Structure 1
Amino acid sequence: MSTKSTREIVDTYYRLANAGEWDEWCDLFAVDQTMDEQLAGHVEGRETLRDMMKGFPEMYASFSNTPVHIVVDGEQAAVVSHISAVTTGGDRVEAEVCNYFRTSGGLIHYMSNHHDSVPFAAVTGA
């Protein structure tokens, strides 16, 4: 069984997110993954992430996260991307994002994202 390269994992991450295939998207993460997410905070464990993502379709009527620049160095990657979304309440979200990934064995073991939180005010209520 071959494992995916870091570039393949990153490409699949964005493809699945943009398709709204959140369960398959969660499968890209290691069981003991750690994520530092700008809005959700510190998330540990794939099943915690999976539970968190179950509510995602209820927040967004449409969602896309388009990579603009990808840098891969071995088992690490950084991706600058642009999020365009519409909440189920009709609010638009436009945000520039930078994600950092650390992979091993074909899975994401650590991820962090960084973006301006102001465009997400309609979602967070902040």
Structure 2
Amino acid sequence: MDARQILEKYYEYANAGDWDRWCDLFAEDQVMDEQLAGHIEGLEVLRSMMKGMGTMYRVFRNEPVHFLVDGEKAAAVSHLSAVSPAGETIEAEVMNFFRIVDGKIAYMANYHDTVPFQVLGQG
């Protein structure tokens, strides 16, 4: 897959709640700087974290708005809409940066407004 296809699958799998296939997009030695979860290294650590994602939100949609791809570097602007198990809603604009090496996400960082996540005690 090329970088654009990887971005498309990243959002497709996330929106389907298919976190196993979502994790498959990442390299074994991936590094992620996630604004709420912090610095995450290694695919197995990421897989372990994502096992709880299905219970964290009753609804989770992260809709891509725009992709920029330049070789192994890519960025995606998206809009996140989510509902917690208790019914709190989250709406946030998101910017993700990716470095894709040999068809896998080697590095990812995300940036978004943290205020909407305060309803979950995560902001």
TM tier, smaller: over 0.9
Equivalent residue, structure 2, for 1:6: 3
Q: Distance in 1 between matches of 2:3 and 2:111?
A: 20
> Does residue 1:110 correspond to 2:111, yes or no?
no
> Aligned match of 2:94 in 86, 92, 97?
97
Pairing of 1:1-126 with structure 2 (within 5 A) = 4-126=1-123
3-state SS in 2 of match to 1:26:
helix
Q: Is the 8 A contact 1:59 1:123 kept in 2?
A: no
Q: Is the 8 A contact 2:83 2:89 kept in 1?
A: yes
- TM-score calculated relative to the size of structure 2: 0.97
TM-superposed CA distance for 1:78, in Å, is 0.6
TM-superposed CA distance for 1:124, in Å, is 3.0
Equivalences, count: 123
Q: Supply the RMSD in Å over aligned alpha carbons.
A: 0.9
3-state SS in 2 of match to 1:114:
strand
Q: Distance in 2 between matches of 1:53 and 1:47?
A: 10
Structure 2: tracts of 5 or more residues without a match: none
The list of structure 1 runs, each at least 4 consecutive aligned residues, that deviate by more than 3 angstroms after superposition, is none
